Structure 1
Amino acid sequence: MKTTNLNTKVITGVNTRLSYANVWEAVSINGGKEKYSVSVLIPKDDKKTLDAIEKAVDAAIEVGIAKFGGKKPNKVAIKLPLRDGDIERDDEAYKGHYFLNANSVTPPQIVDKNVDPILDKSEVYSGCYARVSLNFYAFNSNGNKGVACGLGNIQKIKDGEMLGGRSNAFDDFTSFEGDDDFLA
C-alpha cells in the first residue's frame, strides 16, 4: 500500500476484486461521456486499504476546499465514494465488502504480477483479483458536492470466479470428437 505526497492516491491490497470491469474499452453510462470504469470490491477486513482510502478522501476534501465554497464540509453533507456492499447491493459478490466506482477518460495500464503488460483482454475481467491505483478528488457539479475516485492502473493478481453470470468456455464444453456431419 502506497500513498503519494498529495495523499490522494491509493494502491489497493491484493484481495481487491473487480466488478463491472470496463477497463479495455471506454463505455458511456447513462448517456454520459465514454469512460473506462470499474467497481472495486474491498474486503471489510482489509483495514490497511480502507484506512488509506479514508485518509485519501480526507486529503481530497482538504485539497478541494475551494470547490466546497471555501470551507471544509461535514462528511455527511457530501457524497463519498466508499459504500457498503452489504447494505447497498443485493449481490452475493458484494457481501462482506465495501466498494467504490472508479473511472477515467484515459485507459488504465494493465499489468500482471510481474508488471508485464497484459495484452489478452480475456485475462482481466469482472471477478478477477487485482491491485488498483486510485486517485481521489473533490467535485462540485450541478449542485452535487463530494469526493470521486479516478481510475489509475490495474495489476492482476489472480483469477476469480467470473461475475455477472458469464461462464468460461472451458467449463461449458469438452473436446468434440463426434461425427462432424451433424446435418445428416
Structure 2
Amino acid sequence: MSKMTHVVTGPKTVLSYLNVNEPKAAPGGKPKYSASLIISKDDTDTLDKIHKAIEAAYEEGEGKLKGNGRTVPPLAAIKTPLRDGDLERPDDPAYQNAFFLNANNPRKPGVVDAHCNPITDTSELYSGIIGRVSINFYAFSVNGNRGIACSLNNIQKLEDGTPLGSQISAAEDFAAFKAADGADDFLN
C-alpha cells in the first residue's frame, strides 16, 4: 500500500450498506466485507485527498491499465469509485449533497471506537454510523474492464447515526396492537 493511495476520511463520514460482521459474496464472487462511504460535499479536505489518491493509483497502475493496448487510457475514460449522490441517488436523502464510494476487502476490517478500543458488539455496527474510514485506492484490469477501485481497511466509529434502510422497529410495527393495561393479555 502506497502512502499516496491511502486516505483516512474526515470524522463525519456516514457508512451505508455496512457489511463488516460477516463477509458476503455477490453471485459467482468471493466473500468480502464492504461499505458505502457517504462523504458530504462540504468535506473538501477528504474529497481532495480522495482525488489525489485516485490520481496516484492511476499513475502507479499505468502498466495494469494499459493491458494489451499501446497506450494507457486517460483517467477520465476509466471507471473510478467516487460518485455523485445527487446524480446517482437523487431520491435517497442520505446521499443528498454528498459523494459516495463503495469499498470492499476479503480481509475483515479493524473496527474501533473513538478511543481506539475494538468494537466486538455487532449490534453497534449498522448502516448509518458516523466516523472515519481508512481506505486505499488501486488500479485494476479484469476481463477488459479497467479502472480504479477502493479497498476497505479500517473503521473508527465516532458516533451513532440515523439507521439507514427501510426496516422499522418492532415497537413501531406492533404499536397498534399494544394491550391497554394487560386487558388483552390472554395468558394472565
With structure 1 as the length reference, what TM-score do the two structures score?
Answer: 0.89
- Amino acid of the residue matched to residue 142 of structure 1? N
Equivalent position to 1:34, from 31, 34, 45: 31
- Amino acid of the residue matched to residue 85 of structure 1? G
1:1-184 equivalent positions in 2, closer than 5 A: 6-69=3-66, 71-89=71-89, 90-168=91-169, 178=182, 181-183=185-187
Deviation at 1:28, TM superposition (A): 1.0
- Distance across 2 between alignment mates of 1:5 and 1:36: 21
- Amino acid of the residue matched to residue 28 of structure 1? A
- Distance across 1 between alignment mates of 2:147 and 2:77: 8
- Distance across 2 between alignment mates of 1:132 and 1:36: 13
Question: Which has the higher mean CA deviation after the structures are superposed, 165-174 or 88-97?
Answer: 165-174
Please provide the CA RMSD for this pair. 2.4
Identity of aligned residues (%): 53
Structure 1 unmatched ranges of 5 or more: none
Structure whose alpha-carbon radius of gyration is higher: 2
How many residues are treated as equivalent by the alignment?
181
Q: Does the 8 A contact of 1:65 with 1:71 survive in 2?
A: no
- Distance across 2 between alignment mates of 1:107 and 1:5: 20
1:63-107 Cα shifts (integer Å, max 9, x gaps): 101102275431221000100000011311111110000000010
- Distance across 2 between alignment mates of 1:72 and 1:9: 23
- Distance across 2 between alignment mates of 1:47 and 1:107: 28
Deviation at 1:52, TM superposition (A): 0.3
Deviation at 1:170, TM superposition (A): 7.1
With structure 2 as the length reference, what TM-score do the two structures score?
Answer: 0.87
Structure 2 unmatched ranges of 5 or more: none
1:132-184 Cα shifts (integer Å, max 9, x gaps): 00000000111111100000000001111100122455777899973795357
- Distance across 1 between alignment mates of 2:105 and 2:5: 15
Q: Does the 8 A contact of 1:21 with 1:38 survive in 2?
A: yes
